[in-house]
Structure 1
Amino acid sequence: MTIFTELYRNWAEYVTDSAQRSVLFWDVLRKRGNIAVEHFEQGKPPLLAFEHETVLDGRTLDRPANYALLRILPRPGQRIDPAKRPFIIVDPRAGHGPGIGGFKEDSQVGFALRFGHPCYFVTFFPEPEPGQTLEDVARAEALFVETVRDLHPDSDKPCIYGNCQAGWAVAILSAARPEIMGPIILAGAPLSYWAGVEGSNPMRYTGGLTGGSWAALLASDLGNGRFDGANLVRNFESLNPANTYWTKYYNLYSRIDTEEERFLEFERWWGGIFLMNQEEILAIVNGLFIGNKLARGEIVTSEGGKTIDLRNIRSPIVIFASWGDNITPPQQALNWIADVYDSAEEIRTNEQVIVYTLHEDIGHLGIFVSARVAQKQTSEFIGGLDFIDILPPGLYELIIDDKRPDLPNADLIPDRYVMRFEPREIEDILELDDTREDELRFETVARVSQVNEGLYETFARPWITPFVNEATARWLRLMHPARLERLMASDFNPFMRPLEPLAEAIRRDRRPAAPGNPFAEAERRMSDGIVQALEEYRKARDIGYERMFKAIYGAPLVEAAVGLRAEGARHVRRRGDAELRAELAKARMALLATRIEEGGRLEALMRSLLYVFREDRRMVDERTFRMMERIRDERPEAGKVSVAQVKDCVRVQAAILQIDEERAIRALPGLVPDSEGRERVLDAVRRISGAQGALSAKAQARLDRVQAALGLQERKTGRAANA
């Protein structure tokens, strides 16, 4: 066979394959359009992979909100323990519809059910209730939490899992109603909107480059009082033009025989776009995106004038962020800690537990939908939540390692991963950022935004709103590219209908190109070139955005025009009732000092463990907690101790050791007066402290000190001599 014959054969093979893939590609887009139309006609229900039922509809409340509480029904054969801690998954209302937290089997919902927990899901409807505000939503969500607590009176407080924008909503609710909340998990949730690294994170510049909140106000006015979530979707898509305009479609085209199901599954959720009231989007933009008021402690409720202070959160906070997330980078997820607390010691004094973990490379959506993340991070969060709930107060980084065969007491770990909680300081949080000086420019943005919003309301709004009604608003929403591209590719377009029979015929006679076809390889190289060109465009665009932002909002004239050049005009971090908190902390410490000699076996055990590992970082390891569970299960006659009881005991004993360590250890015999009880306490301390292997010299010395305090040293020595 000559080279020209082989070339012709490869060309004919490639042309046939390419033509078939083109028809199948457009047929998949047709299906995507039909799915979007069908979802709209069904009322855009939550896209959950699990059966569910409505427990409470927020639209029926005195202050209605377009939210509802769903109970997730277990799969056939799945056993759910109603006495276990319930999980409440809250999805973000940031343009798309609900469902991302239970989108597939390997998800937050899926793993909560696998571990036998009752699971609930907070959903929302496509359109807000008339006059609905963020406070109405918060009231509804608080009622949802109370309802779940009433349904499970014998369990610990429910864990609230807040995804993306739902994370800050959960944090606000936890600060406003700390008494009803259990542990909260904030996944990809931005709480410090001004934070980021120079040269990256261009999304934080968007508000400044558009001139502030007036753009959201204009969009809401054109929507007849409602803001179209499609605008937020486009903002997300603009961050990665290579993926938005080429990669995701080329992946479908090049792998058309295997990619259809995955593509349609995700696009079904991506194409479901929801609305907000004008009051809601303005509160979000002014209070969070541009004002950054949550981290600064400047959000005040409309009723009662209560300040939302994140220091009021009493339950453990788990933060999951990723270095590959260009929407919520780690700085936006974590810098609020440095805004609220001066040191880790202050966190401990406030009896707060904050745990964070950082993924190396997963993107924003991958935090919620990646099976790899669900099987590791999500699974460990849910399976190890009780351990997190009883951690001593402080700041920790959660490290999730593979379980090694040579790991001491590896049999204590039921799965392939082991959790390790490394104590951290505020300096560790600040080291994740390059500098915080760049955040000063965002104060200028906030001032400029106020000016522009006032100008818009005074001079432009009176000329716009008379020409807008619901019909024009619906037409504008329909014409948005995010909707139009799906509608035009659906069966509503008569030119798309012949694709279905043609695609079926092609599938019956599919002729893919052979592996190694040179023309197919040239196609892939061309695709790589297009991706590279779009990436270069993105980099140049982002650099231009940053330089423009700095030039505008770093200009002395602009700063002076909005009153930020005067001495003392810059924002001083709000400390709120810091002095009152300090006095209350002193009063609590004085009260606890009177309880040093009070308690029983549980108090003696926790005090001894905290003392042994007080200066040893290995204390917070999953094996330690697993050994505690094993000892508990070995002694059923002692009765079950709830997580809440252990949690309260740990916090009290940690504070007691902080008050007077020596007195606390001397008081141990009084907590366990009988010799048998002391033997059991010491045995438990030995087994738990040794769960991670040999003790350090410092920890061993402290363990010997506990043994001596319990008066057991001579008995142990005597037994050894007799032996």
Structure 2
Amino acid sequence: MSSLAASAMEYVVDAAQRSVLFLDVMRQRGDQYREHLAQTAPHVLQYAAELIVDGRTLDEPVNYALVRIIPPKGVEIDSERRPFIVVDPRAGHGPGIGGFKADSEIGVAMKAGHPCYFVGFLPEPMPGQTIERIARAEARFIEKVISLHPKADGKPCVIGNCQAGWAIMILASLRPELFGPLIIAGAPLAYWAGVHGKYPMRYSGGLLGGSWLTALASDLGAGKFDGAWLVQNFEGQNPSNTLWAKQYNVYSKVDTEADRYLDFERWWGGHVNLNAEEIQFIVDELFIGNNLAAGKIEMSDGQKVDLRNIRSPIVVFCSEGDNITPPQQALDWILDCYADVDEIRAYGQTIVYTVHQSVGHLGIFVSGGVAKKEHAEFSSNIDLIDVLPPGLYEATFEAKNEETASSDLVVGQWVMRCEPRTLDDIKAMGGNSPADERRFATAKRVSELNLAAYRKFLQPWIRTMVTPQAAKLMQELHPLRLQYEAFSSKNPWMGAVKPAAEAIEDKRKPVSGDNPFLAFQELISKQIVHALDSWRDAQEAVSETVFLNLYGSPLLQASLGIDPRSEPSRRREMSAEHRALLEKRIAELKAKIGEGGLREAAIRGLLYIGSARGMVDERSIEALRQVRRDYGGPRSTLAEFKMLVRDQFFMLILDQEGALAAIPKMLPDSLDQRRGAFSAMRSVLSAAGEITGERARRLQQLEGLFGLDAKQERGALVAPFDPKAKAS
């Protein structure tokens, strides 16, 4: 037999075996889907959990629940460390993706020693459940966690993934006192934002005529919206993966890929429902209305949602590779809320963002690589973020190696830095022109008119015709559900697949990697992916062109009351009330510039010298943490220390010359105390590397302000800081 014929025979045997094994994986997926649906509280959490609060028992019941994650064997938790609360997205799927595996948001937080809690939900909403009611329930959950950790060094860090991100931001603006740092992963907050040629999902509302279709889908569901439609929208963004690559990857690697595929599909196929009121709020107020950053969302008690009310640090994690929540949608709310960084500081806000270069939407909170890097660093350095002076920062990461200075102060495998940024850095990512803003405003107005027409003329008839039984049947016949059912053991045609697969596993003959027919198979697969991607790109280009031209029509805009010549700006001015509070606060800080002792003088000096470097390094903060522990004494809690840092930071901004001039008067007479404090300052500043340039000049300036003669004190200052010499 020729070599080519032998290769062909080898490939045919392998392909036939792989086909049967692939069908068996599909059968397992279908059976897994049915088992998942049969559970009362289906989830994909890897960790054991203890129910703390069942939202169904609240005065205003919701289908959400708070659970405590039970640490696995070998993981030590410090109950006095800041607790973490992971809130999973209810965007069509069931809960658990934040604790999907060991390398996950929950996993890395527990490895850092933090107690962990999880907010999940049941498949069916409670009657009358709304987004506002859910927010109140989540506030109760956070209050409960706070009560369980009265000695914790800081309020809970809350992680909101995707849909949960904007929900947590809404709650934090209404109840800012409940929150420690917020980590918002892959969450859209500025829904119109984007750039031409990318991210076409933002055009969907306008191309479909607005939210009337959302109301129709809810009416066809007898008052409930099927989350499978949301999942289908996500899948439509990447047809090559949905229609081919995902399945082909299993088929081509069926010996090794089945378990990973089935684990993910257990979550991907766990569709949940939303009440009509919930989804209508989401679409009208957020996706099409874009009212969150504009401050136009109002609660039933009249309280308006203003993101500027949030007092906790906000960490925004997004990715260039995310076509569901691109960086513009994750970050442009900052441009809507603030004129510049000084205004961010005026509201006392700390915003840290990081932009991944390639990971997709789901990878932001399920990728093991992301968990080991970004989420692990955020968890390990959450106290660093909490004490950052107000402003806008970008978190950057550098791999730790043998040449890393003070590597013993680096917690993980990466060195995290927070580098100051301005609004120009966000604008440089691209965004909407005034013409684009008019287009989206026009689409919003068309949506309002179409929804009103539907509610008046069609909705009464639809609601009369749709029975609960018909709604259930339509839900069961949804294409995404049928694909699971069709390949499950419920299908009699699949009965022979399992024994055939078991027989093949005993006689498996994988094809060799250099088989030419296998190479041809890969080539065909790549061509299919390319064809589907090309089709998607063409479709997206047409969609964008239609949207831009239709809603950019001056005639349509004028007919809807939108001036075609206007240059709309969504940025809000600071209220007179906040400006008055700010002026009062400025006067108080200026009056206190000369107050304080050695502790205040040392922090002021550190901020003055550190500002010359233009970034904050985790090594410096870890050194400061050690100094605070040894030198600061038990009187200083993290909250008190944070306020101390902020006060000294603002004093330097308001009157740098006066703040520095006041330092000698704040120091004790004891030379040993001043020398000890200055040595501690020097150790903190040198933790991230040698002190050079402007920082060295400022350090010498502080040396004089501390009354330490450089020539006489040089040797003493090199010695390690002695905690026994600390000030009272």
- Return the TM-score normalized by structure 2: 0.96
Tell me if the contact between 1:320 and 1:357 (Cα under 8 Å) persists in the aligned partners: yes
The equivalent residue for 1:519 is 517
- 1:64 is aligned to 61
Quick check: 1:59–1:67 contact (8 Å CA) kept in 2? yes
5 Å-filtered alignment, 1:693-704, equals: 693-704=689-700
2:325 aligns with 328
Superposition deviation, residue 394 in structure 1: 0.6
Distance, in Å, in 2 between the alignment partners of 1:391 and 1:259 is: 43
SS at match of 2:707: coil
Match for 1:47 among 44, 48, 56?
44
Pairs within 5 Å for 1:260-279: 260-279=258-277
Equivalent residue of 1:473, what SS?
helix
Structure 1 residues 117 and 48, CA, compared in 2 at 3 Å: closer, same or farther? same
**Counterparts of 1:24 and 1:613 in 2: how far apart (Å)?**
61
What is the CA-CA distance between 1:412 and the residue it aligns to? 2.0
Q: 1:640 to 1:112 in 2, by over 3 A?
A: farther
CA distance in 2, matches of 1:566, 1:430: 24
1:115-150 per-position Cα deviation (integer Å, ceiling 9, x unaligned): 111000000110111011100000000010100000
With over 3 angstroms needed to count, the CA separation of the structure-2 counterparts of 1:60 and 1:275, relative to structure 1, is same
Q: CA deviation at 1:705?
A: 2.1
**Which residue, out of 661, 672, 677, partners 2:667?**
672
Partner of 2:658: 663
Corresponding residue of 1:163: 161
Shift of the 488–566 alpha-carbon distance from structure 1 to 2, 3 Å rule, reads: closer
Secondary structure at the aligned position of 1:122 is classed as strand
Cα separation, partners in 2 of 1:719 and 1:55, compared to 1, 3 Å: closer
Partner deviation per Cα, 1:476-509 (whole Å, 9 max, x = no partner): 1000011111011111111112111111001111
The aligned residue for residue 13 of structure 1 is 10
Q: Distance in 1 between matches of 2:568 and 2:132?
A: 26
Matching of residue 627 in structure 1 with residue 623 in structure 2: yes
608, 611, 626: which one pairs with 1:611? Answer: 608
* Aligned-pair CA distance for 1:718: 9.1
1:175-220, Cα deviation, whole Å (9 max, x unpaired): 0000111100000110000011100001101111100010100000
Distance 1:485 1:611 in 2: 62
Structure 2 SS opposite 1:419: strand
Name the counterpart of 1:216: 214
**2:554 matched to 1:559?**
no
1:122 and 2:141 equivalent? no
Deviation readout 1:528-577 (Å, 9 max, x if unpaired): 11111001101101101101111211112221221113777x75536265
* Aligned: 1:232 with 2:221: no
Say if 2:339 and 2:571, in contact at 8 Å, map to a contact too: no
CA distance in 2, matches of 1:478, 1:180: 41
SS in structure 2 opposite 1:68? strand
Q: Is 1:342 matched up with 2:334?
A: no
How big is each residue's C-alpha offset from its partner over 1:581-627, in whole Å with a ceiling of 9 and x where there is no partner?
22211110101122222223331221111112233314x11121121
Letter aligned with residue 381 of structure 1: F
| CA distance, structure 2, for counterparts of residue 95 and residue 565 of structure 1 | 38
Q: Is 1:108 aligned to 2:105, yes or no?
A: yes
Matched, 1:365 2:365: no
Instruction: Determine if the alignment matches structure 1 residue 644 to structure 2 residue 651.
Output: no
User: What is the deviation of 1:715?
Assistant: 7.7
1:588 maps to 585
Partner of residue 533, structure 1: 531
How far 1:701 sits from its partner (Å)? 2.3
CA drift of 1:300 comes to 0.9
Residue 408 of structure 2: aligned partner: 411
TM-score scaled by structure 1?
0.96
What secondary structure is seen at the aligned counterpart in 2 of 1:294?
A: coil
306-315 or 594-603, which deviates more: 594-603
1:711: Cα distance to partner? 1.6
Q: Select the residue among 371, 376, 391 that pairs with 1:374.
A: 371
Give the whole-Å Cα distance in 2 for the aligned partners of 1:515 and 1:657.
Answer: 65
- Amino-acid identity (%): 49
Q: Name the counterpart of 1:402.
A: 399
Contact 2:593–2:651 (CA<8 Å) still a contact in 1?
Answer: yes
- SS at 1:296 equivalent: coil
State the one-letter code of the partner of 1:242.
S
Q: Partner of 1:496 in structure 2?
A: 494
Please give the alpha-carbon distance, in whole angstroms, between the structure 2 residues aligned to 1:614 and 1:370.
Answer: 35
1:681 aligns with 2:692: no
CA distance in 2, matches of 1:113, 1:209: 45
Give the match's secondary structure for 1:54: strand
1:253 is aligned to 2:248 = no
Matched-pair contact (CA < 8 Å) for 2:11–2:511: yes
Letter in 2 for 1:670: K
Shift of 1:348: 1.4
Deviations 1:61-112 (A, max 9, x none): 1111110001000112322111000000001100011111000010001011
User: Does the 8 Å CA contact 2:554/2:564 hold for their aligned counterparts?
Assistant: no
Of residues 690-699 and 149-158 in structure 1, the stretch that sits farther from structure 2 once superposed is 690-699
Distance change (3 Å), C-alpha of 1:78 and 1:682: same
| Conservation of the 8 A alpha-carbon contact between 2:319 and 2:357 | yes
Whether the 8 Å contact between 1:297 and 1:574 is mirrored in structure 2 is no
Residue 708 of structure 1 pairs with residue 707 of structure 2:
no
Cα distance 1:720–1:50, how it changes in 2: closer, same or farther (>3 A)?
A: closer
Q: 2:177 aligns with which of 176, 179, 191?
A: 179
Looking at structure 2, the residues matched to 718 and 148 of structure 1 have their Cα atoms a distance apart, in angstroms, of: 49
1:331-352 CA distances to partner (integer Å, 9 max, x unpaired)?
Answer: 0000000110100111112211
**Partners of 2:677 and 2:259 in 1: how far apart?**
57
Question: Distance between the aligned counterparts of 2:402 and 2:513, measured in 1?
Answer: 40
Which of 86, 90, 111 is matched with 2:87 structurally?
Answer: 90
Distance 1:567 1:247, change over 3 A: closer
In 2, are the aligned partners of 1:604 and 1:681 still within 8 Å (CA)? no
Separation in structure 2 between the aligned mates of residue 487 and residue 175 of structure 1, nearest angstrom: 43
The whole-number CA distance in structure 1 between the counterparts of 2:692 and 2:438 is 46
- Distance in 2 between residues matched to 1:117 and 1:414, nearest whole Å: 14
**Do 2:197 and 2:544's aligned partners in 1 also have CA atoms closer than 8 Å?**
yes
Contact residue 195 and residue 436 of structure 1 kept, 8 A: no
Unaligned runs of 5+ in 2: 718-728
Matched, 1:549 2:544: no
Distance in 2 separating the partners of 1:386 and 1:366: 25
Deviation digits for residues 347-385 of structure 1 (CA, Å, limit 9, x no counterpart):
112211000001110011111111110100010010011
- Displacement after TM superposition at 1:44 (Å): 4.4
- Aligned with 1:197: secondary structure? coil
Please, which of 198, 201, 223 is the counterpart of residue 199 of structure 2?
Answer: 201
Contact 2:197 2:541 in 1 (8 A): yes
| Aligned mates of 1:559, 1:217 — CA distance in 2 | 25
Amino acid corresponding to residue 345 of structure 2 in structure 1: R
**More deviation, 558-567/361-370:** 558-567
Give secondary structure in 1 for the equivalent of 2:534: helix
Aligned to 1:385: 382
CA gap of 1:558–1:44, structure 2 versus 1, over 3 A, is: farther
Structure 1 pair 525–490 and aligned structure 2 pair: CA distance change class (3 A): same
| 1:295 partner SS | coil
